């Protein structure tokens, strides 16, 4: 008789965004002919994909039309042309040396941050920041692991406190979704030192590294001494270059990352992840990897940087506008997210309803990202400029 994975009962319904959509639908149905609703809620890009990427995808598509140049299954860990471009531009140029066999090209950081648990025991104690990208908590609940939440609040500068019990696995996301805040070099170094001391593993989500400006905030955990011994890093072309619909990401598993198994033998996480990917994954499409490689050409760099600076200009408009209205705004400097304290003593959902009903602006209730998100609200900078400007004016008119 079939048995289900009963741990799935521990995860709630995918409530947050469906509840947002339900309330917006209900509002629209009852206010026919009312003002348009502007959304600063979505965590998805809205700008077009860079022309250099589109050209590379078109060219690669045509290669598939001829028997001399067509490609079948791609190498499981990615084509050399993409891996080498990543090594050169994302790491060597910034003083980090990695080898080609430490990079694993994939179809998304969501699946990689979720699937990495396959190579880790279910008896690990997992520390996760609160609030957080929901994948971390949900996938660990599904696997039956114990979780300790690390509240990130203005009081601790959104830097997670060390867990009460030594954690075996630690998720860090910097720049952070949903708070839009970052960890300084010293703060991140203290986590690397913690992991070395406790022989823990850091799962570092750097999906928003391309939004970092200046050199104070590390773009890779490997910029810190010792990190190759304790950290796996996840990156994605989704927010960097608008690949949310194209799907391409990569994960770095350094060869130095070895773990003592219960037998006393040392086990290489790099070898285990390679085994995982070659068993459960059949590679990212050639056409899409060609598109990703084009991000690293001079035109690709110029075009994708222009799009990121457009989003970051939106972030500045939201931050300055809301602060002018007297609100307390966190994040938005190195990330396309703004984390706003709800005014008065409104809960996250009460503030959601107020904005929707009074000024027809939609954002995301902070409580949907974890208990420590209660009393906060997330705005994203991925909107169209005119709508962003109008939404900020509308919210400001409430105060
Ligand atoms: C968007 C996002 C990702 C990227 O996921 P993909 O599957 O590569 O699109 C990863 N982590 C966080 C925190 C994100 O917000």
Q: Considering only CA atoms, which residue is closest to atom 15 of ligand 1?
A: 177
CB 212 within 8 A of CB 175: yes
Return the pLDDT at 304.
98
239 lines ligand 1 (CB under 6 A): yes
Q: What's residue 6's pLDDT?
A: 95
Ordered DSSP codes for 147-213? EEEEE--GGGTTPPPPPSSPPSEEEEESS-TTT-----HHHHHHHHHHHHHHT-EEEEE-TTGGG--
Nearest CA to ligand 1 atom 12: 207
| Ligand 1 close to Cβ of residue 338 (< 6 A) | no
Is any atom of ligand 1 closer than 6 Å to the C-beta of 288?
Answer: no
**CA 77 to the chain's CA centroid:** 21
Q: Is 177 in the pocket of ligand 1 (CB under 6 A)?
A: yes
* Ligand 1 probe mutation, 205, 209, 250, most atoms within 8 A of CB: 205
Pocket mutation for ligand 1, best pick of 207, 241, 284, 334 (most atoms within 8 Å of C-beta): 207
Nearest CA to ligand 1 atom 2: 207
338, 322 in Cβ contact below 8 A?
Answer: yes
Q: Which CATH number fits the domain 12-47+304-396, given the four candidates 1.10.3720.10, 3.90.1150.10, 3.30.1490.100, 3.90.550.10? A: 3.90.1150.10
110 Cα–ligand 1 center, Å = 5
pLDDT by residue for the chain (399 residues), tens digit each? 999 999 999 998 777 888 999 999 999 998 877 789 999 998 899 999 999 999 999 999 999 999 999 999 999 999 999 999 999 999 999 999 999 999 999 999 999 999 999 999 999 999 999 999 999 999 999 999 999 999 999 999 999 999 999 999 999 999 999 999 999 999 999 999 999 999 999 999 999 999 999 999 999 999 999 999 999 999 999 999 999 999 999 999 999 999 988 898 999 999 999 999 999 999 999 999 999 999 999 999 999 999 999 999 999 999 999 999 999 999 999 999 999 999 999 999 999 999 999 999 999 999 999 999 999 999 999 999 999 999 999 999 998
Radius of gyration of the chain (CA): 22
Residue tagged 């990897």 (tokens): 289
Rounding to the nearest 10 degrees, give the CA dihedral for residues 205, 236, 278, 138.
50
Q: Write down the pLDDT at residue 14.
A: 75
Instruction: Count other Cβ atoms within 10 Å, centred on residue 17.
Output: 14
Ligand 1 in reach of 110 Cβ (< 6 A): yes
| pLDDT at residue number 82 | 98
The phi, psi pair for 332, rounded to 5°, reads: 80, 0
- In this predicted structure, what is the pLDDT of residue 33? 76
- Of all protein residues, the one whose alpha carbon is nearest to atom 11 of ligand 1 is 207
Residue 39 three-state SS: strand
Residue 132 Cα to ligand 1 midpoint, Å, equals 12
If you measure from the C-alpha of residue 247 to the centroid of ligand 1, how many angstroms do you get, rounded to a whole number? 10
Q: Is the CB of 235 under 6 A from ligand 1?
A: no
pTM for the model stands at 0.97
CATH of region 51-298: 3.40.640.10
- pLDDT for the residue 174: 98
How far is ligand 1, taken at its centre, from the CA of residue 36, in Å? 29
Closest atom of ligand 1 to CA, residue 237: 8
CA separation for the pair 195, 175 (Å, rounded): 20
Q: Where in the chain is the domain with CATH 3.90.1150.10?
A: 12-47+304-396
CA atoms within 13 A on the CB side of 77: 20
Q: How far is the CA of 29 from the centre of ligand 1 (A)?
A: 32
* Cβ–ligand 1 contact at 174 (below 6 Å): no
- Ligand 1 contact, 236 CB (< 6 A): yes
For ligand 1, the distance from its centroid to the CA atom of residue 251, given in whole angstroms, is: 12
pLDDT of residue 133: 95
234 C-alpha vs ligand 1 centroid, how far in Å? 9
- pLDDT of 20: 94
Q: How far apart (Å, rounded) are the C-alpha atoms in residues 317 and 156?
A: 26
Best of 104, 106, 109, 112 for a ligand 1 pocket test (most atoms within 8 Å of beta carbon): 109
| Residue 43: predicted pLDDT | 85
Task: Tell me which residue has its CA closest to atom 4 in ligand 1.
Answer: 109
Give the C-alpha separation, 113 to 372, whole Å: 22
State if residue 82 touches ligand 1 by the CB under 6 angstroms criterion: no
């Amino acid at each position: 008789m079939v048995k289900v994975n009963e741990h799935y009962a521990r995860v709630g319904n995918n409530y947050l965004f469906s509840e947002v959509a339900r309330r917006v639908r209900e509002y629209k149905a009852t206010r026919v002919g009312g003002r348009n609703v502007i959304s600063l809620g979505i965590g998805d890009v809205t700008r077009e994909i860079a022309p250099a990427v589109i050209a590379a995808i078109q060219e690669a598509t045509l290669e598939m039309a001829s028997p001399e140049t067509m490609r079948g299954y791609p190498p499981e860990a990615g084509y050399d042309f993409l891996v080498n471009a990543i090594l050169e531009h994302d790491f060597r140029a910034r003083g980090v040396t990695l080898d080609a066999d430490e990079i694993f090209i994939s179809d998304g950081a969501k699946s990689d941050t979720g699937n990495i648990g396959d190579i880790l025991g279910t008896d690990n104690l997992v520390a996760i920041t609160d609030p957080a990208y929901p994948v971390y908590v949900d996938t660990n609940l599904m696997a039956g692991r114990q979780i300790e939440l690390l509240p990130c609040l203005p009081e601790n500068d959104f830097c997670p406190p060390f867990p009460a019990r030594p954690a075996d696995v630690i998720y860090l996301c910097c720049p952070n979704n949903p708070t839009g805040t970052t960890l300084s070099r010293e703060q991140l170094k203290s986590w690397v030192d913690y992991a070395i001391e406790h022989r823990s593993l850091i799962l570092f989500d750097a999906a928003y590294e391309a939004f970092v400006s200046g050199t104070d905030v590390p773009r890779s955990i490997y910029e810190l001494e010792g990190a190759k011994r304790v950290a796996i890093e996840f990156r994605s072309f989704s927010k960097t270059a608008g690949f949310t619909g194209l799907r391409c990401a990569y994960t770095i598993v350094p060869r130095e990352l070895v773990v003592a198994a219960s037998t006393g033998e040392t086990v290489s996480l790099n070898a285990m992840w390679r085994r995982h990917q070659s068993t459960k994954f059949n590679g990212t499409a050639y056409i899409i990897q060609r598109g990703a490689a084009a991000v690293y050409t001079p035109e690709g760099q110029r075009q994708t940087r222009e799009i990121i600076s457009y989003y970051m200009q939106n972030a500045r408009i939201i931050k300055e506008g809301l602060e002018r209205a007297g609100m307390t705004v966190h994040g938005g400097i190195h990330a396309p997210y703004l984390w706003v304290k709800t005014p008065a003593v409104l809960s996250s959902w009460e503030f959601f309803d107020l904005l929707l009903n009074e000024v027809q602006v939609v954002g995301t209730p902070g409580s949907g990202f974890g208990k420590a998100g209660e009393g906060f609200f997330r705005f994203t900078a991925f909107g169209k400029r005119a709508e962003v400007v109008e939404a900020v004016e509308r919210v400001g008119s409430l105060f």
